[in-house]
């Protein structure tokens, strides 16, 4: 019986070898897990569905959304437009977790006539809130990301486009005296015949041939409207001045020409960030690091990536892979540039004063995409520009369809959103977040002593990595150690040697691991009871088996 008891004891008991600590405790590290928000709201709908919102209605939607789901929605007024309308940013995230998370951005409506972008931004917000706590993937995105949405950056122009029917207005509403008569915007385009459209007219001078000239070979153009200031000129003093998407600081004014002429549609302003709207965005963006972001536009179907100004462009392969991704997730025939692999060996500048170039070069955003979400592909410009007059000296074409060129009919807003929903979820999927697991902890427990942490870091974005090294910070944001950067869809194992900022106690102290692109994860280092590990258990089993074998051999030798 004594022999059997000895055999069982040696077989079952694991052997553990570890440093002696106070009260038999050892340093342990645990992740701080923030629970998801408990859903208390029902399905959200827009107050004004199947219509284009004016600025007042946009503000009403924003306030309604915030009032219904304050647990996930935070509002920030980032500035005011020229006419002192609020420029509002919504941040959608799990507010229970106050640690900085990975950040992503959607900014809509740089250009007045592209009001469909406002509608998709609002629907994106509702999609997140309606699926939180219902869809595991969306819940994970909101829990681990800070999702910023600016529904309109040009609310002044939105007012004119939606409520006054000027669907040609592209620029902001800073006034300009085009005709030097000390009045501003008094002779703009207008719907004089009351048919709901402001027509564009293309004029071709006859060259005595019988052929109708090519659509693009017109000699001049004009728009429907009256001579409101009785100066014998028509529409010579329009509303609007600066193209906001040419007013950013990177490559501002490069190329000259139309960019520097106030009357053109691409006037870049008197200087970079001369406009309230772009200054507000600049100051907002300086407080954040976005690895990927969308600026929504319409008028064509494409995803514009920033353009190179230097040789040895580093993003060729990444952008090419993303165009292939978009080919899979966008509707058939949507993107007119899906086969486009940027030629990044030239010295050509990107869009002069463009949002995307500024975000890439000045804010370090790896993938700022100018996302053109709508173009009426059914419009044949040759057929749309109807010949209304043809004589021996001139041909005049009329086009009434500018509204339908940049925006669908109101009944088409929701179907368009459904078509493009996957591309908005792609934005969230690509935003780099990391999953961190500490696999070992050794060393001292007193302030100033060395401690070694074994860490495994997994990047959850299939394409975008951490860009920079991963840092371990103490509660005062002091860097304790750095580990190597992790690439998209990559898992790396590394060791971090830190000097303890304070004693390890039973209550413990917090550290953060991550960076400004991936966000941070909080862990607590404390003293705790060591958990049995597989290594000591296997050692114990092996020792036990060996002892049993020896005893059995001795036993059988004796009985022989």
pLDDT band at 416 (very low <50, low <70, confident <90, very high): very high
Confidence at residue 112, expressed as pLDDT on a 0 to 100 scale: 97
Cβ-count burial 185-218 (b if 16+ within 10 Å, e if not): bbbbbbbeeeeebbbbbbebeeeeeeeebebeeb
Per-residue pLDDT band at 215 (split at 50, 70, 90): confident
Average pLDDT value for residue range 171-200:
73
Q: Are 440 and 334 in contact (CB under 8 A)?
A: no
- Indicate whether 195 pLDDT > 80: no
pLDDT value at residue 310: 55
Residues 119-125, mean pLDDT to the nearest whole number: 98
What are the backbone angles phi and psi of residue 552, rounded to the nearest 5°?
-65, -40
pLDDT at 193: 77
Rounded to whole angstroms, the Cα distance separating 410 from 392 reads: 42
389 pLDDT tier (thresholds 50, 70, 90): confident
Q: Where are the alpha helices (DSSP H) in 364-449?
A: 381-384, 402-406, 413-430
| Residue 397 pLDDT | 85
What pLDDT score does 551 carry? 43
Beta bridge partners of 491: 458
Whole-number pLDDT of residue 224 = 78
Residues 263 and 376: their CA atoms lie apart, in Å, by 27
pLDDT at 6 over 50: no
Closest CA to 431 of 314, 521, 321, 518: 518
Residue 201 β-bridge partners: 222, 398
> Roughly what angle, to the nearest 10 degrees, separates helices 316-329 and 413-430?
140
Mean of pLDDT values over 495-506: 96
Mean pLDDT for the chain? Answer: 85
DSSP string, 185-220: S-B----TT-SS---EEEEEE--S-SSPPPTT--SE
pLDDT of 115 strictly over 80: yes
Residue 452 and residue 486 in contact, taking contact as beta carbons nearer than 8 Å: no
Using CA atoms, how far apart are residues 281 and 288, in angstroms rounded to an integer?
Answer: 11
pLDDT band at 300 (very low <50, low <70, confident <90, very high): confident
Cα angle at 404 between 403 and 408, to 5 degrees?
115
Q: For position 401, what pLDDT does the model report? A: 63
Least confident of 215-219, 401-405, 528-532: 401-405
Q: What confidence category does residue 209 fall into, taking pLDDT thresholds of 50, 70 and 90?
A: low
Give the length of the chain.
Answer: 560
Between 140 and 209, the more confident residue is: 140
Instruction: Give the whole-angstrom CA distance, residue 474 versus residue 559.
Output: 67
The highest-confidence range among 113-127, 176-190, 294-308, by mean pLDDT, is 113-127
Q: Which residue has the higher pLDDT, 183 or 419?
A: 419
Contact (CB, 8 A) for 100 and 519 = yes
Q: What is the dihedral of CA 471, 475, 480, 483, to 10 degrees?
A: -20
Give pLDDT, residue 199.
Answer: 79
For residue range 134-167, what is the model confidence (pLDDT) as tens digits? 999 999 999 999 999 999 999 999 999 999 888 8
Rounded average pLDDT over 339-355: 60
Q: Report how far residue 134's alpha carbon sits from residue 378's, in angstroms, rounded to the nearest whole number.
A: 38
- Provide the pLDDT confidence category of residue 535 given band limits of 50, 70 and 90: very low
Positive or negative, the CA dihedral 288, 289, 292, 295 is positive
Residue 323, by phi and psi: left (phi above 0), alpha (psi -120 to 50) or beta? alpha
Phi, psi of 251 (to 5 degrees): 60, 25
Pairing of strands 73-80, 292-297: unpaired
| Chain centroid offset of residue 398 CA | 39
Has residue 126 got a pLDDT over 80? Answer: yes
CA distance 428 to 102: 10
More confident residue, 464 or 387: 464
Lowest mean pLDDT among 223-237, 274-288, 292-306, 426-440: 223-237
- Tell me what pLDDT residue 21 has: 52
Residue 236: what pLDDT?
59
């Amino acid at each position: 019986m004594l022999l059997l008891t000895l055999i069982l004891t040696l077989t079952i008991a694991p052997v553990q070898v570890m440093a002696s600590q106070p009260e038999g405790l050892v340093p342990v590290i645990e992740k701080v897990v923030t629970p998801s928000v408990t859903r208390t709201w029902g399905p959200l709908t827009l107050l004004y569905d199947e219509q284009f919102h004016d600025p007042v209605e946009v503000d009403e939607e924003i306030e309604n959304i915030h009032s219904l789901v304050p647990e996930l929605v935070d509002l920030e007024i980032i500035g005011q437009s020229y006419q002192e309308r609020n420029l509002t940013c919504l941040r959608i995230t799990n507010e229970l977790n106050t640690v900085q998370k990975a950040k992503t951005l959607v900014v809509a409506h740089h250009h007045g006539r592209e009001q469909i972008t406002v509608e998709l931004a609002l629907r994106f917000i509702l999609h997140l809130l309606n699926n939180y706590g219902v869809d595991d993937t969306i819940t994970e995105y909101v829990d681990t990301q800070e999702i910023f949405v600016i529904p309109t950056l040009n609310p002044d122009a939105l007012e004119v486009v939606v409520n006054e029917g000027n669907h040609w207005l592209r620029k902001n509403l800073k006034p300009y005296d085009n005709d030097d008569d000390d009045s501003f915007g008094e002779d703009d385009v207008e719907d004089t015949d009351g048919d709901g459209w402001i027509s564009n007219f293309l004029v071709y001078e006859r060259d005595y041939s019988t052929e109708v000239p090519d659509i693009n070979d017109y000699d001049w153009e004009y728009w429907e409207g009256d001579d409101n200031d009785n100066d014998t000129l028509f529409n010579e003093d329009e509303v609007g001045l600066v193209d906001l998407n040419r007013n950013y600081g990177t490559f501002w004014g490069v190329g000259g020409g139309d960019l520097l002429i106030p009357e053109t549609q691409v006037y870049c302003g008197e200087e970079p960030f001369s406009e309230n709207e772009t200054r507000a965005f600049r100051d907002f963006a300086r407080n954040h690091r976005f690895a990927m972001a969308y600026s929504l536009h319409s008028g064509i179907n494409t995803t514009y990536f920033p353009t190179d100004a230097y040789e040895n462009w580093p993003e060729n392969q990444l952008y090419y892979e993303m165009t292939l991704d978009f080919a899979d997730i966008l509707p058939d025939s949507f993107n007119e540039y899906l086969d486009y692999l940027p030629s990044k060996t030239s010295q050509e500048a990107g869009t002069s004063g463009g949002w995307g170039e500024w975000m890439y070069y000045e804010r370090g955003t790896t993938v700022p995409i100018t996302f053109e979400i709508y173009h009426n592909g059914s419009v044949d410009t040759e057929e749309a520009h109807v010949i209304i007059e043809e004589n021996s000296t001139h041909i005049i074409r009329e086009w009434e369809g500018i509204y339908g060129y940049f925006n669908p009919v109101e009944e088409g807003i929701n179907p368009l959103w459904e078509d493009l929903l996957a591309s908005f979820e792609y934005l969230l999927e690509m935003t780099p977040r990391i999953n961190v697991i500490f696999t070992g902890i050794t060393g001292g427990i007193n302030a100033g002593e060395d401690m070694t942490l074994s860490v495994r870091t997994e990047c959850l974005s299939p394409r975008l990595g951490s860009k920079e090294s991963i840092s371990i910070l103490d509660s005062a944001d002091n860097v304790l150690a750095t580990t190597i950067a992790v690439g998209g869809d990559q898992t790396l194992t590394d060791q971090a040697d830190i000097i303890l900022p304070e004693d390890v106690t039973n209550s413990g102290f917090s550290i953060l691991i991550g960076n400004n692109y991936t966000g941070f994860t909080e862990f607590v280092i404390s003293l705790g009871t060591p958990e049995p590990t597989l290594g000591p258990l296997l050692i114990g089993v092996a020792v036990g088996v060996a002892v049993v074998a020896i005893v059995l051999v001795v036993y059988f030798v004796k009985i022989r």
